[in-house]
Structure 1
Amino acid sequence: MKTSVIGYPRVGVLRELKFATEKYFKDAFTKEELQAIAINLRETHWKVQKEKRIDFISSNDFSFYDNMLDTAVLLNVIPNRYKKLQLDSLDEYFAMARGYQGEKGDVKALAMKKWFNTNYHYMVPEIEDGTEITLIGDKPFKEFLEAKSLGIETKPTIIGAFTFLKLARFTGEKTIAYYINDIIRSYSDILNKFNDLGTQWIQFDEPYLVMDLSEEDIHLFTRLYDSILNEKRKTKVLLQTYFGDIRDCYGRVIAMPFDGIGLDFVEGKKTLECIKEFGFPDNKTLFAGIVNGKNIWRNNYTNTVNLIIELKKYCKNIVLNTSCSLLHIPYTLKNEDGLSEEYKKYLAFAEEKLMELSELKRILSNSDSVFTDEYRENKKLFNQVRCYKNENVHTAVSALSQNDFIRQPNFEEREKIQKEKLNLPLLPTTTIGSFPQTADVKTNRSNYKKGKISFEEYVTFNKKKIAEWIELQEKIGLDLLVHGEFERNDMVEYFGENLDGFLFTEKGWVQSYGTRCVKPPIIWGDISRSKPITIDYSVYAQSLTSKYVKGMLTGPVTILNWSFPREDISLKDCVFQIALAIRGEVLDLEANGIKVIQIDEAALREKLPLRKSDWHSEYLDWAIPAFRFTHSGVKAETQIHTHMCYSEFADIIKDIDNMDADVITFEAARSDLSIIKTIREGGFKTEVGPGVYDIHSPRIPSVLEIKEALFKMLEEIPGNKLWVNPDCGLKTRGNEETISSLENLVIAAKEIRKSLSE
């Protein structure tokens, strides 16, 4: 029995790639220096896997920004607006990822979306009518040879042809059908080139197979791979799926000429059932995803061993695999000095999961696995009882009734009351919440955590920043202000640190997109709120201005979805514990004079099951009520906002409306404002603020650009329901670009406001 890893984290244990890339963006690093960092990281990642005796190590899982973007560049799917800049290949790549504004032109970045049900974001390939899909890149081949020069045989991993086409955006009249022959030829060329290099295995990632598939989808998939695999080659092909099961096409897939098939036994609820019903061919290898690539808890060896024993009844050749890429978890526990061994023994990050694979390999190679040390120690761990229960929380959650999820009066009455009380102008301007986390802000927080400054000094600095930005917002002319969130490291981590029931890492960074990394909290036990969290800063900010300042909170669903959840209770039970805590904060903000409260649910869609049949039974029927519970107790005149980013909302737009917020702001800039038509067609009652410019790009939008976006919105959304705002928080941007962008936003809103009143 052998072991395999679908993919490995790439930003570096200490985020070396992030910092090097950001230096390159600022012209503080040369291309050669950046490439040197990349080479070193790849070597480190391959060697640690080899040291842990992983048999199938991936190459080409590294990326400077995103693997979907890498695949687009590999296949010449580069829109003309980037080619016209006449940049070198690396800068053209980054222009696609981040946009470009300079002497050679001004172009927006590609759209960015969530990668299935994760907190990772991918760049959406854009296929224009004039695009010629053909193999032009060499990255996968160079990295394969790079590993081979180190004495490490890898299986190159490529986003599969089917998933690439299904996730791409077609901007002209031509559809998938037009490009089928080109994509077949390109992937055949990839296979042929690897075959010539003597590659033993190649991995095609096809996560789209776990989605709801139509017969047309299945026909497309089979047509693609029957043709790609038509030619006999020595290189073996692994079809790798993850994030669920492939129940819609399992029977057809196992009959196709793949040498190996990777299936997910963690999130794939029906994977074992499919194997029992249809069997598994003796001439193929099952890459069994049994080590969770998305959560950080230790593997229960007893359960895994029993599963493999059951699988052996149906499968002749089994490789122990991760359930998905380890990209979605931190690197290693080795640097977590702040966590006691009592906690750490229950946890496994990427490097520890490599060890789990190796231990499971030894256990399953032993004819009497119960007598191996690893098995006995693991069984002992899972027989222990962890202390995590809070009876008061359980009592409060169990006492909830239907009335607790209904806010009175209804939306229409509240809207009239709020317009009168708040007296905001037509097309009110605001931001999503955070302002730039500049070096001095980060230093202040770091010095406080390290004990270099007192709490009073820490607070004094934050209040000075708040005062500066309240004054700046008034000068810019924004209508509804925010305090800037200078005290917050991350919108989820900050709340987790101030609630009971969470654990935190020091170096547990996970890539979210590009150079953006987050440190998800770990939900260890029952969650409760023992003290107010945001009141002092919110009240202070409000005292500085006669304009309204939003109280800023993170919603329960987002806190849950952007944390590593417990596995011993349901997600539903966990989210209602968090909702109970956030509700207390909402009511305290209101009691302290805060008239507008934003409860962000940026990650609402993130844990939405990938199959529509499971949406309500497994998620929306508790996710939407959890949000409603947080604000159902406030007065009619208190305006509740929420924010959502980088998701597709069309198919759940009515559920979003049922959250019963007063105002919802959406990411919209990178998706060409596609949300606005959905809002109109869905009869959306809630007031909305689709983002008028993309904050994930360093570009400064012009007044004309913002006005054009607003005119487009006004074609679908009544002016009395439209807000004007960026598409997300501004913490990752610099001061200068933030101020300039907001100045243009306010000018655009005022000019259109004036034209509407004439």
Structure 2
Amino acid sequence: MTVISSTIGYPYIGENREWKRALESFWAGKTSEEQLLQVTKDIRLSRLQKQKESGIDLIPVGDFTLYDRVLDTAVMFGMIPERYGWNGGQVPLSTYFSMARGNASTVACEMTKWFDTNYHYIVPEYEGRKLAVTENKPLIEYREAKQELGIEGKPVLIGPYTFLKLSKGYETKDIPAFLLQLLPLYEKVLVELQAEGVEWIQLDEPILSTSISQDEMKTVHEIYSQLQKAVTQSKLFIQTYFDSVEWYEETIALPVDGIGLDFVHGLKNNQKSLEAHGFPADKVFGAGVIDGRNIWRANLQNKLALLDTLQQHVSVENLWIQPSCSLQHVPVTIASEQKLDSTIKTALAFADEKIVEVATLVKAVREGADAIVHELRESVDACEQLAQLPARNRQDVLQAVNNIGNVPSKRPTPFAERRVKQEEAFNLPLLPTTTIGSFPQTPEVRATRTKWRKGEITEQQYGDFVFDEIKQWVDIQEKIGLDVFVHGEFERTDMVEYFGEKLDGYVFTEKAWVVSYGSRCVKPPIIYGDIAFVEPMTVKESVYAQSLTDKPMKGMLTGPVTMLNWSFVRDDLSLKDVTYQIALALRKEIEALEAAGIHMIQVDEPALREGLPLKKDEWNEYLDWAVNAFRISTATVQDTTQIHTHMCYCDFNHFIDSISALDADVISIETSRSHGELVHAFNTFHYDKGIGLGVYDIHSPRVPSIEEMVEIIEKGLEVLDVKQFWINPDCGLKTRKKEETVASLENMLTATKKVREQLTAVSSN
């Protein structure tokens, strides 16, 4: 046996987002289920063929999904909440997509961040019902790959302990009962794969890279001891990623045949542990040396040096060379990019290029570095030329960050005093109503923007069109009766891309899409240089919108941490320093908005939580600079300027104090899918600022009822003072249709009025 190349997972969207288009066509009723399944099969096979042709020895199967792999696992095990009306047997696509997106009568399952990435997964709900295997999805895809392409694939499953930890609906005392149901299902799937003749089975356990306890690690050992007894012929391979494993010695002692470790994001600690404790000679060692989460080309010379170091502790016969994690987090191919600067393009590597890097490293280990002299020289030159770009060496920006300690990062007046001034300035009713920022980006909006980008219409024509859209939606907000307006963001493609295009230090791609959630694909901008403010970015639209109404109009910005976390970031500076560069640039925009008469400014930080390190002992350091960056952006406004922010799906309970430390006057948080669970955080933490707990889920294609929104408002009022409670949807309304948006907001206003009337009646008694 010799060193082999392996991948952990590969993008499933297709080079031109064929996957997204097939899903959305099916959801719109334009294509049949049969057509959907045929298109997605073609995509699935093409991505396998591409990995085969690139020289990958061990190709994963089962990593393809119609929506989300965690949801796939829940459905495969029949873990379907009762509210969806499923009574056993094969799970229809209608049920599957209802769990993901909701339907006319039933809310969707909760959605939250996948570890510290910008991908969202559907949270499985365990209700204690009897579970059963509904279909063996990895087996189906293994057979397909073998029969159609002659590929002896490596079936991939989300590991049992990670699946358990990502699920909800149980308490600690219920874990034994949950596992008692879950493990036989895993055994059944694995035994069927074994009977098919599968050699290697990959079980993803990224949870091992988080701060789990030693007792939890013992549970993991018991789980795999049981699975190993059932699987005596196939080989089990545990894959970890996103960081170093928490319990190295215990992890490498697990009763499995191989362990995959991240030697990019977990390099320092994994390497230190390897050198201190070695690695079992009877196990395969998966070395994740190619960055699966970022888009920069590898310096192959440095990677070979790392592999030489690893081989001091691991025999080449047991070595797998692979990416650090699934490549679903990077775009498909750099070949689609025709407009990038040549120096930057040469320094990039997307999924297709990364699997070539893996195969190239394997060739070097097998045949010696002389076998890849040309590739080595190219990679080193590309990295060096990128480093020498003037945009990466702006002394004014670098000096400003060095002096960050002298920059104001705290508003001079405490919130309690600001609140009084703002109440007098805005004179809002109890439970003020607003939206998060964006309104529907209709096909007409997108088509007009495309014409403008192609030069088919003038700048003036495009600007007039955007102003017409703003006016239309200001009129709609007036008619509905909202208390605080937004301009709708019709000029923006994406909440990060729009600002990045107007700042120095960013570069943009044409087709470098990745999945955020469901069929929602984003095209993250690339931070390649030093970030600097150029000119006002949002003032024109905000001032025009404010001129159309006497109601307060929020200026809308994306915060510095989200600008960082939703971009592909240069890897030669610390994340903290890059964030401070962005914060200083945004500060100038906020000051420009205020000077133009905009006195409500929303600085969204939906990605603040997702940047939280997987290790709890690293949380405080991250939160300190992340919160400081937000405050640097917002600290210089007047007391009567109200700062808002917004955050997306995630578990806020563990760092509600840091949210308070942002010192935003009003925060809105997505909570509708979690059925108001976040409100429990306020039972133990006294939050004194304005807060909007989203009262309906904008990601579901349904109009929520007045009654369910009243219930969510009342639940929030159980733990929050009515004077601090704002009413808003969960998130921006960009992806929704006009009719459902208007209907939903009308119901939101009616629900708010009902609660106001109830409060008035109570106070009068």
Q: How does 1:705-744 map to 2 (within 5 A)?
A: 705-744=708-747
Aligned residue for 1:55?
57
Aligned residue for 2:239?
240
Aligned residue for 2:749?
746
Name the CA distance, whole Å, in 1 between partners of 2:675 and 2:339: 44
The question of 1:395 aligning with 2:371 is answered no
Name the CA distance, whole Å, in 2 between partners of 1:43 and 1:247: 36
Q: How does 1:548-697 map to 2 (within 5 A)?
A: 548-617=552-621, 619-697=622-700
Aligned residue for 1:224?
223
Name the CA distance, whole Å, in 1 between partners of 2:551 and 2:646: 21
Aligned residue for 1:473?
477
Name the CA distance, whole Å, in 2 between partners of 1:148 and 1:319: 22
Name the CA distance, whole Å, in 2 between partners of 1:363 and 1:173: 48
Q: How does 1:38-77 map to 2 (within 5 A)?
A: 38-77=40-79
Residue pair 2:546, 2:552 contacting (<8 A) in 1 also = yes
Aligned residue identity for 1:651: H
Aligned residue for 1:252?
250
Aligned residue for 1:34?
36
The question of 1:179 aligning with 2:174 is answered no
Cα deviation for residue 342 of structure 1 reads: 1.8
Residue pair 1:76, 1:134 contacting (<8 A) in 2 also = yes
Residue pair 1:133, 1:179 contacting (<8 A) in 2 also = no
The question of 1:124 aligning with 2:126 is answered no
Aligned residue identity for 1:215: Q
Cα deviation for residue 31 of structure 1 reads: 0.3
Q: Deviations over 1:596-625 (max 9, x none)?
A: 0000001001111111101123x1121100
Residue pair 1:133, 1:182 contacting (<8 A) in 2 also = yes
Name the CA distance, whole Å, in 1 between partners of 2:419 and 2:703: 33
User: Using a 3 Å threshold, how does the CA distance of structure 1 residues 459 and 375 change in structure 2: closer, same or farther?
Assistant: same
Name the CA distance, whole Å, in 2 between partners of 1:371 and 1:704: 66
Name the CA distance, whole Å, in 1 between partners of 2:745 and 2:506: 36
Name the CA distance, whole Å, in 2 between partners of 1:484 and 1:679: 31
**Percentage of identical aligned residues:** 46
The question of 1:528 aligning with 2:532 is answered yes
Aligned residue identity for 2:260: G
Aligned residue for 2:314?
315
Aligned residue identity for 1:596: M
- SS state at 1:170 partner: coil
The question of 1:483 aligning with 2:481 is answered no
- SS state at 2:404 partner: coil
Name the CA distance, whole Å, in 2 between partners of 1:254 and 1:624: 37
Name the CA distance, whole Å, in 2 between partners of 1:466 and 1:700: 23
User: Using a 3 Å threshold, how does the CA distance of structure 1 residues 227 and 550 change in structure 2: closer, same or farther?
Assistant: same
Residue pair 1:247, 1:271 contacting (<8 A) in 2 also = no
Residue pair 2:22, 2:40 contacting (<8 A) in 1 also = no
Aligned residue for 1:6?
8
Residue pair 1:369, 1:375 contacting (<8 A) in 2 also = no
Name the CA distance, whole Å, in 1 between partners of 2:425 and 2:169: 46
Name the CA distance, whole Å, in 2 between partners of 1:574 and 1:218: 36
Residue pair 2:190, 2:231 contacting (<8 A) in 1 also = no
Among residues 383, 389, 398, which one is paired with 1:386 in the alignment? Answer: 389
- SS state at 1:551 partner: strand
Q: Deviations over 1:103-162 (max 9, x none)?
A: xxx110000010000000000000102x22222213221111110011111101000000
Using the size of structure 2 for normalisation, the TM-score is: 0.96
The question of 1:345 aligning with 2:343 is answered no
Residue pair 2:293, 2:327 contacting (<8 A) in 1 also = yes
- SS state at 1:401 partner: helix
Unaligned ranges ≥5, structure 2: none
Aligned residue for 2:194?
195
Q: How does 1:301-312 map to 2 (within 5 A)?
A: 301-312=300-311
CA RMSD of aligned residues (A): 1.5
Name the CA distance, whole Å, in 2 between partners of 1:596 and 1:427: 17
Cα deviation for residue 182 of structure 1 reads: 2.1
User: Using a 3 Å threshold, how does the CA distance of structure 1 residues 706 and 576 change in structure 2: closer, same or farther?
Assistant: same
Cα deviation for residue 171 of structure 1 reads: 5.4
- SS state at 1:293 partner: coil
- SS state at 2:611 partner: coil
Cα deviation for residue 400 of structure 1 reads: 3.0
Name the CA distance, whole Å, in 1 between partners of 2:634 and 2:48: 49
The question of 1:283 aligning with 2:282 is answered yes
Unaligned ranges ≥5, structure 1: none
User: Using a 3 Å threshold, how does the CA distance of structure 1 residues 647 and 432 change in structure 2: closer, same or farther?
Assistant: same
Aligned residue identity for 1:453: I
User: Using a 3 Å threshold, how does the CA distance of structure 1 residues 172 and 117 change in structure 2: closer, same or farther?
Assistant: closer
Name the CA distance, whole Å, in 1 between partners of 2:533 and 2:745: 35
Residue pair 2:299, 2:376 contacting (<8 A) in 1 also = no
Cα deviation for residue 369 of structure 1 reads: 4.3
Cα deviation for residue 191 of structure 1 reads: 1.1
Cα deviation for residue 340 of structure 1 reads: 2.8
Name the CA distance, whole Å, in 1 between partners of 2:525 and 2:407: 31
Cα deviation for residue 213 of structure 1 reads: 1.2
Residue pair 1:430, 1:481 contacting (<8 A) in 2 also = yes
Count of aligned residue pairs for this structure pair: 751
Q: Deviations over 1:641-694 (max 9, x none)?
A: 000001211111101100000000001011111222213421112210010011
Name the CA distance, whole Å, in 2 between partners of 1:638 and 1:680: 29
Cα deviation for residue 738 of structure 1 reads: 0.5
- SS state at 1:640 partner: strand
